[in-house]
A and B are shown apart, each in its own frame.
Chain A
Protein backbone atom coordinates (compact mmCIF):
# COMPACT_ATOMS: atom_id res chain seq x y z
CA UNK A 1 0.00 0.00 0.00
CA UNK A 2 1.41 3.36 -0.98
CA UNK A 3 1.80 6.16 1.50
CA UNK A 4 -0.87 8.25 -0.26
CA UNK A 5 -3.50 5.60 0.22
CA UNK A 6 -2.55 5.26 3.86
CA UNK A 7 -2.85 9.01 4.37
CA UNK A 8 -6.22 9.04 2.62
CA UNK A 9 -7.47 6.20 4.81
CA UNK A 10 -6.26 7.97 7.94
CA UNK A 11 -7.97 11.20 6.89
CA UNK A 12 -11.30 9.42 6.41
CA UNK A 13 -10.87 7.62 9.73
CA UNK A 14 -10.15 10.92 11.47
CA UNK A 15 -13.13 12.68 9.89
CA UNK A 16 -15.39 9.78 10.83
CA UNK A 17 -14.06 9.63 14.36
CA UNK A 18 -14.38 13.38 14.91
CA UNK A 19 -17.99 13.48 13.75
CA UNK A 20 -18.97 10.44 15.81
CA UNK A 21 -17.36 12.08 18.84
CA UNK A 22 -19.24 15.32 18.21
CA UNK A 23 -22.49 13.38 17.87
CA UNK A 24 -21.87 11.76 21.25
CA UNK A 25 -20.92 15.08 22.84
CA UNK A 26 -24.18 16.47 21.48
CA UNK A 27 -26.09 13.63 23.08
CA UNK A 28 -24.52 14.48 26.42
CA UNK A 29 -24.62 18.27 26.23
CA UNK A 30 -27.91 19.20 24.64
CA UNK A 31 -30.68 20.07 27.11
CA UNK A 32 -33.84 18.14 26.15
CA UNK A 33 -34.87 15.00 24.29
CA UNK A 34 -35.89 16.77 21.09
CA UNK A 35 -32.61 18.62 20.70
CA UNK A 36 -30.67 15.50 21.64
CA UNK A 37 -32.22 13.72 18.67
CA UNK A 38 -30.31 15.98 16.31
CA UNK A 39 -26.89 14.70 17.31
CA UNK A 40 -27.31 11.01 16.50
CA UNK A 41 -29.35 11.50 13.31
CA UNK A 42 -26.87 13.81 11.63
CA UNK A 43 -23.40 13.78 13.05
CA UNK A 44 -23.35 9.99 13.02
CA UNK A 45 -24.36 9.54 9.38
CA UNK A 46 -21.27 11.41 8.26
CA UNK A 47 -19.14 9.77 10.97
CA UNK A 48 -20.10 6.24 10.01
CA UNK A 49 -19.76 7.08 6.33
CA UNK A 50 -16.22 8.30 6.89
CA UNK A 51 -15.22 5.17 8.74
CA UNK A 52 -16.87 2.91 6.16
CA UNK A 53 -15.14 4.77 3.32
CA UNK A 54 -11.76 4.20 4.94
CA UNK A 55 -12.66 0.55 5.51
CA UNK A 56 -13.64 0.27 1.85
CA UNK A 57 -10.35 1.79 0.71
CA UNK A 58 -8.31 -0.36 3.05
CA UNK A 59 -10.03 -3.59 2.03
CA UNK A 60 -9.88 -2.74 -1.65
CA UNK A 61 -6.18 -1.99 -1.65
CA UNK A 62 -5.29 -4.74 0.77
CA UNK A 63 -7.03 -7.51 -1.13
CA UNK A 64 -6.67 -6.03 -4.58
CA UNK A 65 -10.39 -6.45 -5.24
CA UNK A 66 -12.98 -3.72 -5.02
CA UNK A 67 -14.88 -3.95 -1.76
CA UNK A 68 -18.30 -2.31 -1.94
CA UNK A 69 -20.33 -3.94 0.84
CA UNK A 70 -19.65 -0.82 2.93
CA UNK A 71 -21.68 1.28 0.50
CA UNK A 72 -24.67 -0.88 1.37
CA UNK A 73 -24.22 -0.26 5.09
CA UNK A 74 -24.19 3.48 4.39
CA UNK A 75 -27.36 3.14 2.34
CA UNK A 76 -29.15 1.15 5.04
CA UNK A 77 -28.05 3.70 7.64
CA UNK A 78 -29.45 6.54 5.55
CA UNK A 79 -32.76 4.71 5.31
CA UNK A 80 -33.06 3.68 8.95
CA UNK A 81 -31.67 6.72 10.84
CA UNK A 82 -34.58 9.06 10.05
CA UNK A 83 -37.13 6.36 10.86
CA UNK A 84 -35.52 5.69 14.24
CA UNK A 85 -35.35 9.42 15.01
CA UNK A 86 -38.99 9.76 14.03
CA UNK A 87 -40.03 6.95 16.37
CA UNK A 88 -38.09 8.45 19.29
CA UNK A 89 -39.66 11.86 18.64
CA UNK A 90 -43.10 10.26 18.45
CA UNK A 91 -42.76 8.44 21.74
CA UNK A 92 -41.39 11.60 23.37
CA UNK A 93 -44.54 13.41 22.24
CA UNK A 94 -46.78 10.69 23.64
CA UNK A 95 -44.94 10.45 26.94
CA UNK A 96 -45.32 14.22 27.14
CA UNK A 97 -41.64 14.73 27.79
CA UNK A 98 -41.30 18.43 28.48
CA UNK A 99 -39.35 20.33 25.84
CA UNK A 100 -36.95 23.09 26.78
CA UNK A 101 -39.02 26.01 28.19
CA UNK A 102 -37.75 28.43 25.54
CA UNK A 103 -38.77 26.14 22.69
CA UNK A 104 -40.95 28.09 20.28
CA UNK A 105 -44.14 26.73 18.76
CA UNK A 106 -45.04 24.64 21.81
CA UNK A 107 -48.72 25.08 20.99
CA UNK A 108 -48.11 22.63 18.14
CA UNK A 109 -47.15 19.78 20.48
CA UNK A 110 -50.69 18.64 21.47
CA UNK A 111 -51.77 18.85 17.83
CA UNK A 112 -48.79 16.82 16.71
CA UNK A 113 -49.49 14.25 19.42
CA UNK A 114 -53.09 13.83 18.30
CA UNK A 115 -52.01 14.00 14.64
CA UNK A 116 -54.46 16.85 14.09
CA UNK A 117 -53.96 19.37 11.31
CA UNK A 118 -52.06 22.46 12.45
CA UNK A 119 -54.88 24.81 11.52
CA UNK A 120 -57.47 22.88 13.57
CA UNK A 121 -59.44 25.01 16.00
CA UNK A 122 -58.57 24.28 19.61
CA UNK A 123 -61.30 22.26 21.32
CA UNK A 124 -62.03 22.78 24.95
CA UNK A 125 -61.34 19.61 26.84
Chain B
Protein backbone atom coordinates (compact mmCIF):
# COMPACT_ATOMS: atom_id res chain seq x y z
CA UNK B 1 0.00 0.00 0.00
CA UNK B 2 1.35 3.35 -1.01
CA UNK B 3 1.85 6.10 1.53
CA UNK B 4 0.02 8.61 -0.68
CA UNK B 5 -2.85 6.74 -2.32
CA UNK B 6 -4.45 9.99 -3.47
CA UNK B 7 -1.66 12.51 -4.07
CA UNK B 8 -3.93 15.20 -5.54
CA UNK B 9 -6.40 15.00 -2.67
CA UNK B 10 -3.55 15.08 -0.17
CA UNK B 11 -2.31 18.31 -1.68
CA UNK B 12 -5.85 19.70 -1.70
CA UNK B 13 -6.38 18.82 1.96
CA UNK B 14 -3.06 20.39 2.88
CA UNK B 15 -3.86 23.66 1.10
CA UNK B 16 -7.48 23.82 2.27
CA UNK B 17 -6.48 23.27 5.89
CA UNK B 18 -3.99 26.14 5.76
CA UNK B 19 -6.51 28.36 3.97
CA UNK B 20 -9.23 27.60 6.51
CA UNK B 21 -6.89 28.56 9.33
CA UNK B 22 -5.55 31.52 7.42
CA UNK B 23 -2.05 30.82 8.67
CA UNK B 24 1.12 29.05 7.67
CA UNK B 25 2.65 28.69 11.13
CA UNK B 26 4.77 25.57 11.78
CA UNK B 27 2.10 24.02 14.01
CA UNK B 28 -0.59 24.33 11.36
CA UNK B 29 1.76 22.91 8.71
CA UNK B 30 2.41 19.84 10.87
CA UNK B 31 -1.32 19.40 11.41
CA UNK B 32 -2.04 19.90 7.68
CA UNK B 33 0.60 17.29 6.81
CA UNK B 34 -0.96 14.88 9.28
CA UNK B 35 -4.40 15.29 7.73
CA UNK B 36 -3.05 15.17 4.20
CA UNK B 37 -1.54 11.75 4.96
CA UNK B 38 -4.09 10.19 7.29
CA UNK B 39 -7.43 11.12 5.67
CA UNK B 40 -6.62 9.68 2.21
CA UNK B 41 -5.38 6.48 3.90
CA UNK B 42 -8.71 6.20 5.75
CA UNK B 43 -11.05 6.91 2.84
CA UNK B 44 -9.14 5.34 -0.05
CA UNK B 45 -10.98 2.05 0.33
CA UNK B 46 -14.37 3.71 -0.09
CA UNK B 47 -13.64 5.25 -3.46
CA UNK B 48 -15.24 4.19 -6.70
CA UNK B 49 -13.67 4.44 -10.12
CA UNK B 50 -12.50 7.98 -10.77
CA UNK B 51 -11.90 9.26 -14.27
CA UNK B 52 -8.56 10.91 -14.87
CA UNK B 53 -8.22 14.53 -15.86
CA UNK B 54 -7.00 14.21 -19.42
CA UNK B 55 -6.40 17.87 -20.08
CA UNK B 56 -5.92 19.98 -16.94
CA UNK B 57 -5.25 23.10 -18.97
CA UNK B 58 -8.68 22.85 -20.58
CA UNK B 59 -10.20 22.39 -17.13
CA UNK B 60 -8.78 25.75 -16.10
CA UNK B 61 -10.17 27.40 -19.22
CA UNK B 62 -13.54 25.77 -18.51
CA UNK B 63 -13.49 27.20 -14.98
CA UNK B 64 -12.94 30.72 -16.35
CA UNK B 65 -15.74 30.22 -18.87
CA UNK B 66 -18.11 29.12 -16.12
CA UNK B 67 -17.17 32.04 -13.87
CA UNK B 68 -17.83 34.44 -16.75
CA UNK B 69 -21.16 32.76 -17.47
CA UNK B 70 -22.16 32.95 -13.80
CA UNK B 71 -21.62 36.70 -13.95
CA UNK B 72 -23.76 36.98 -17.08
CA UNK B 73 -26.36 34.61 -15.59
CA UNK B 74 -26.70 36.77 -12.52
CA UNK B 75 -27.34 39.91 -14.51
CA UNK B 76 -29.78 38.16 -16.85
CA UNK B 77 -31.74 36.57 -14.03
CA UNK B 78 -31.77 39.89 -12.17
CA UNK B 79 -33.27 41.57 -15.23
CA UNK B 80 -35.88 38.82 -15.63
CA UNK B 81 -36.79 38.93 -11.94
CA UNK B 82 -37.24 42.70 -11.90
CA UNK B 83 -39.11 42.74 -15.22
CA UNK B 84 -42.72 41.77 -15.65
CA UNK B 85 -43.23 38.19 -14.46
CA UNK B 86 -46.19 37.91 -16.83
CA UNK B 87 -43.80 37.93 -19.77
CA UNK B 88 -41.82 34.94 -18.50
CA UNK B 89 -42.16 31.78 -20.51
CA UNK B 90 -40.74 29.01 -18.33
CA UNK B 91 -40.35 25.52 -19.74
CA UNK B 92 -38.98 22.04 -19.26
CA UNK B 93 -36.44 20.75 -21.74
CA UNK B 94 -34.88 17.31 -22.09
CA UNK B 95 -31.26 17.46 -23.14
CA UNK B 96 -29.68 14.37 -24.65
CA UNK B 97 -26.29 13.80 -23.04
CA UNK B 98 -23.48 11.60 -24.19
CA UNK B 99 -21.15 11.68 -21.23
CA UNK B 100 -20.30 8.24 -19.98
CA UNK B 101 -19.10 9.00 -16.44
CA UNK B 102 -21.02 10.10 -13.35
CA UNK B 103 -18.48 12.83 -12.66
CA UNK B 104 -19.02 14.27 -16.13
CA UNK B 105 -22.80 14.28 -15.73
CA UNK B 106 -22.53 15.85 -12.27
CA UNK B 107 -20.25 18.56 -13.66
CA UNK B 108 -22.62 19.27 -16.52
CA UNK B 109 -25.71 19.34 -14.27
CA UNK B 110 -24.03 21.68 -11.77
CA UNK B 111 -22.83 24.00 -14.52
CA UNK B 112 -26.31 24.10 -16.02
CA UNK B 113 -27.74 25.05 -12.62
CA UNK B 114 -25.25 27.87 -12.13
CA UNK B 115 -25.47 29.40 -15.60
CA UNK B 116 -28.02 31.47 -17.52
CA UNK B 117 -31.65 30.82 -16.72
CA UNK B 118 -31.54 27.05 -16.27
CA UNK B 119 -31.73 24.63 -13.33
CA UNK B 120 -31.18 20.91 -13.82
CA UNK B 121 -33.98 18.93 -12.23
CA UNK B 122 -33.36 15.26 -12.95
CA UNK B 123 -31.25 12.77 -14.88
CA UNK B 124 -32.90 9.78 -16.53
CA UNK B 125 -31.97 6.39 -15.15
CA UNK B 126 -30.12 5.35 -18.30
CA UNK B 127 -28.04 8.56 -18.03
CA UNK B 128 -28.98 9.64 -21.53
CA UNK B 129 -31.18 12.62 -20.71
CA UNK B 130 -30.83 15.64 -18.49
CA UNK B 131 -34.10 17.34 -17.60
CA UNK B 132 -33.69 21.08 -17.30
CA UNK B 133 -36.06 23.83 -16.22
CA UNK B 134 -35.54 27.13 -17.98
CA UNK B 135 -36.75 30.39 -16.48
CA UNK B 136 -37.34 32.00 -19.84
CA UNK B 137 -37.37 29.76 -22.89
CA UNK B 138 -36.92 31.43 -26.28
CA UNK B 139 -36.21 28.36 -28.34
CA UNK B 140 -35.87 24.81 -27.12
CA UNK B 141 -33.39 23.75 -29.79
CA UNK B 142 -31.21 26.80 -29.21
CA UNK B 143 -30.89 25.99 -25.51
CA UNK B 144 -30.03 22.35 -26.22
CA UNK B 145 -27.40 23.35 -28.78
CA UNK B 146 -25.90 25.96 -26.50
CA UNK B 147 -25.54 23.58 -23.56
CA UNK B 148 -24.10 20.85 -25.74
CA UNK B 149 -21.65 23.16 -27.49
CA UNK B 150 -20.61 25.39 -24.64
CA UNK B 151 -20.46 22.98 -21.72
CA UNK B 152 -20.75 19.37 -22.73
CA UNK B 153 -18.02 19.38 -25.35
CA UNK B 154 -15.29 20.82 -23.10
CA UNK B 155 -16.27 18.44 -20.26
CA UNK B 156 -16.00 15.57 -22.70
CA UNK B 157 -12.57 16.72 -23.79
CA UNK B 158 -11.35 17.33 -20.24
CA UNK B 159 -12.40 13.91 -18.99
CA UNK B 160 -11.62 12.21 -22.29
CA UNK B 161 -14.82 10.19 -22.35
Contact = CB atoms under 8 A, between A and B. Distances in A.
B22 A34 contact: no
A-side interface mostly: helix
Chain B contact patch, size range: 35 or more
Contacts, number: 152
Contacts of A119: 129
B53 interface: no
Nearest to A109: B92
Contacts of B125: 115-117
Contact of B78 (A22, A30, A37, A103): A22
Interface stretch (B44-52, B111-119, B153-161): B111-119
Question: Interface extent on A, as a size class?
Answer: 35 or more
Contacts of B20: 69, 72
A102 B85 contact: no
Contacts of B120: 82, 86, 89
Contact of A30 (B70, B81, B111, B131): B81
A25 B78 CA distance: 9
B29 interface: no
B101 interface: no
Interface of B: 16, 19-22, 70-71, 73-74, 77-78, 80-82, 85, 88-94, 96, 109-114, 117, 119-126, 128-129, 131, 133, 135, 137, 140
